[in-house]
Structures are given as structure tokens and as C-alpha cells.
Amino acid sequence: MSKERIIILGAGLAGLSAAWHLQKIGRDCRIFEKEKQVGGLCRSKNIGGFSFDYSGHLLHFKSRYAFNVVKALLGTNMIERQRSAWVYSDGRYIPYPFQANLYRMSDQQKSECLSGLIDASNKNIRVDKKQDKNFLNWIIRAFGKGIAKNFLIPYNAKFWTVAPRQMTCGWLDGFIPVPTISEMIEGAMEDNKSKFGYNARFWYLKKGGIVCLPNALAGGIKNIHTGCAVEKIDLKNKEIIFSDGRKEKFDYLISTIPLPELSHILKEMPESLAVQFRKLAWNSIFNLNLGLNNNQDLKQHWAYFSQKDISFFRVGYYHNFSSWLAPRKMGSLYIEVAYSKYKPINRKSLTRRIKNDLRRVGILNGRKVIVEHINDIKYGYPIYDRNYDTVRKDILSFLKKNRVIACGRYGSWRYLSMEDVILQGRVVAEELSACLKKE
């Protein structure tokens, strides 16, 4: 067995998965994490009797392998839930997805949405994302102008912080449900009994919060070093310099560090590559967690909000994921506001505005906030703008030539679910192991 030095930077879900899979197939590696705790954003905090995750983290499975891995790690500490997700529109809550549940809308909105859908159908212009590289065009082709106007355009502009016309479709891959035209028309006549989307059901932890997953992974991994912030990466000499002066040599480096952060620590990076790094775009998430004095009538799992005059794009209900997350009969929420350089926020007034908006939509009425906590998440989602494909390809190609393998949502700069990240860790481990066998 070869003894190449494999180092992994970052002990979030991606780094842990890569390390876990490498060690499972007999490859030694060492993992370094800047925080004192593993997990990255897949962590939980206990505050005043409430357990809050770093925003919403739910497990969805399309892969039997990923399910089996997580099940083996968590055992009986898993709960399966049938989704209760809603969309707030025109002063009312309708079931998610919006496009399949027009029955609950006002007559005017319903008529507008159906008219646009039928017009799109008559023109036979429904296409898939591979044929249409503009996200706005894809929305209109797939759903018509009415559904686009009443939900999909304003919601996605709010979430991504850029207009859909400025984005490509490279991120879609099932994240937006696309019912058939007959299913959408059926959903306009009566309540739609069908479940659509990758998240129609999900899994969560009975106890302990989402941090139990990375903790379980870490329990099967050797050589995890926490509290190790990277100062520089010397690609020429294959050396990592940490902020405390410590140095580590590597033959292969798996990096889960967000690409924009990586640009600041790569030593002697070509200016042409620095230009590409500066083109990377992303949104950030201001995540407000609230503990409430009661959870009466708060039965949803989460809800989406597309209106411009409502500050947040999504509200989730922790206490409905697991009763362990909040004291008995109390409620707990996560509220998410997207922002970026294209759409800045005023942090001083935002929490107050969020609470006012929660009252407007009927969530806080008659309830007292007894605990509040803020997670300001710098890297939320990579923005798939027109520069995205070329920039990402150039950066990852340069890294690969220097034996640096990008991994994870932020390391490889892709919109990935937790399942996707676990699977990517496996792919990286197997490809690296195959490469080492050839050397």
C-alpha cells in the first residue's frame, strides 16, 4: 500500500465523508478543521432549553447507499416525516408546490396561472433545463407566465438575490418540481393528493439535532485535528501553513474550504486565476432562530414567502421535526433572509422587521418570543450566473493540476443536498484511491 500523504481541509459533512470513505478502503488521511467542533454548518446549538440547527437541515434520500450509510451511523435515532410544506400567497397559505395546488388560490390568480399554463402548452414550448440555459425562460416554458409571475419569479429573485434572467439552469436537477400539465390542471380543480418533489418525505433525528450526523461520522475517523485554521497553501512545495505556525506536507489535498476563501490562502496564484476567483458569486443567509412560549396551531414543517414586502423567504418549524428540539408545548422556528452584494441588508433593524413580518403572516400572533439566536451564514448558495460554468471549470482545473481536489457544496461550488455531499465524499475517496493505485 502506498504511503502518500492525504490531507483534508474542513471537517464539515464533505470532509468527514471523504475521510470516512478513504479510511474505509484502507487509505490513511488526516483532517484539519479550523473550528473546535466538527460539522461545519451541519451543527446544532442548545440555548435556553431549545436546540437550534444552523438553519434548516433535513435529510432526503434518492440513493439507497446514502440511506444505508446514514442509517448505520444513526441507528434508531432517525424519524421519517411526510412533508407539510406551504406557500404564502395573496394572504393565504396553499400547499407546496405552488404550481400543483392552484385550487387554493384566489379566482383571479388561478385564472391567470391557468391561462399562462395553457398558452405555454398550446405553443408546445415546454423544454428541459438542458435545452434552455436561461432560468427565466425555463420557468416560463415549463409553467407559463401566470405561475411565473405569481410565485416562481419573485420567489427565486428573493432567494438567489439576482433576477432569474441572469441565471442559468445548471443547479436545477430536481430542486423545482415539474408536474405534468394535466396534474397542474387537476390541482386547480381540487386539492391535489399527489406528492411532488425530492422532499415529499424527509428524515430527521429523534434526539440531539442535526449535529448527531457529523458526530457519528467523526466517531469512525482517525486523525481529526480541530482548531487548525489555514494561513497559506504553498502549491509549489505541497505544504500547508497553519495560523499557529504549524506546517504540514501533502501529496494530495482535499479541500472543502469555500472557493472564495481558498483564493486568499493560495500562495503565488496566477493573476489570470485571481481574476476568475473574483467572478464567483453567492448569496448569504441571515438565519434568525426563535423559541416561542407555545406551538399551538403551528403544524407545518416549513413555508415559503415570495412577496417583496416580507423580509424572509422561508420559515421552518423545528418543533415539528422532533419534539426533542423544544421544551414541551413550546415552539421553535428558523427564519431565513437571503442577502448578497446585489441585495444588502440592514442588520440593525432586520430582526425587528422579521418579527413584524411574522405577525403579519399570522405566525407570531398571540405568542411570546422567549429565546432568540442569530446565525449569519456568509456562504449560503453559489449563484449560477453566466460566469459560473467557465469560472468554476477554470478554478477546479487549476486545483486538480496541483493535486488539490475540491469537495462539498462550498469546496466544489455546487448546490448540493446533504445526501449529495455524502455521496461526493465517496466519489472523491474512490477516485483518489484509484489514482494512487496507478502511481
Residues 418/423/428/434 CA torsion (nearest 10 deg): 170
List the grid coordinates of 255: 479541500
361-383 pLDDT, tens digit per residue, is 999 988 999 999 999 999 999 99
In the chain, pLDDT over 90 holds for what percent of residues?
89
Amino acid at residue number 120: A
Residue 194 has pLDDT above 90, yes or no: no
* End-to-end CA separation in angstroms for the chain: 11
The owner of cell 422587521 is 353
Q: What is the mean pLDDT of residues 211-225?
A: 97
Q: What is the mean pLDDT of residues 155-169?
A: 97
Element holding 429 (H helix, E strand): helix 418-438
Q: Quote the pLDDT of residue 366.
A: 87
Q: Are 331 and 292 in contact (CB under 8 A)?
A: yes
Q: In whole angstroms, what is the distance from residue 176 CA to residue 97 CA?
A: 9
Q: Quote the pLDDT of residue 2.
A: 52
pTM for the whole structure = 0.94
Strands 282-292 and 369-382: antiparallel
87-105 pLDDT, tens digit per residue, is 999 889 999 999 999 999 9
Residue 120 has pLDDT above 90, yes or no: no
Q: Are 310 and 356 in contact (CB under 8 A)?
A: no
Residues in the chain: 439
Q: Which domains does the chain have, with CATH numbers?
A: 6-43+61-77+206-279+386-438 (3.50.50.60), 101-185 (no CATH), 282-382 (3.90.660.20)
75-87 pLDDT, tens digit per residue, is 999 999 999 999 9
List the grid coordinates of 107: 379566482
Q: Quote the pLDDT of residue 268.
A: 84
Residue 439 has pLDDT above 80, yes or no: no
Q: In whole angstroms, what is the distance from residue 168 CA to residue 135 CA?
A: 5
Amino acid at residue number 388: Y
pLDDT band at 133 (very low <50, low <70, confident <90, very high): confident
pLDDT band at 131 (very low <50, low <70, confident <90, very high): low
List the grid coordinates of 379: 456562504
How high does pLDDT run on average in the chain? 94
The owner of cell 421519517 is 80
Instruction: Look at residues 390, 427, 378, 414 and name the one whose alpha carbon lies nearest to residue 254.
Output: 427
The owner of cell 493540476 is 401
List the grid coordinates of 216: 457519528
SS3 285: strand
Q: In whole angstroms, what is the distance from residue 413 CA to residue 434 CA?
A: 24
List the grid coordinates of 265: 490562502
Q: 365 or 402: whose pLDDT is higher?
A: 402
Q: Where are the alpha helices (DSSP H) in 200-245?
A: 212-218
Q: Which residues is 166 bridged to in the sheet?
A: none
CA 174 to chain centre: 14
Q: What is the mean pLDDT of residues 348-356?
A: 97
SS3 47: strand
Q: Quote the pLDDT of residue 127.
A: 52
Residue 175 has pLDDT above 50, yes or no: yes
Residues 423/424/426/432 CA torsion (nearest 10 deg): 170
pLDDT band at 1 (very low <50, low <70, confident <90, very high): very low
Q: Quote the pLDDT of residue 125.
A: 54
Contacts for 393-399 with beta carbons within 8 Å, 24 or more apart? 394/273, 394/276, 395/259, 395/273, 395/276, 395/277, 398/270, 398/273, 399/255
Q: Which residues contact 122 (CB under 8 A, 6 or more apart)?
A: none
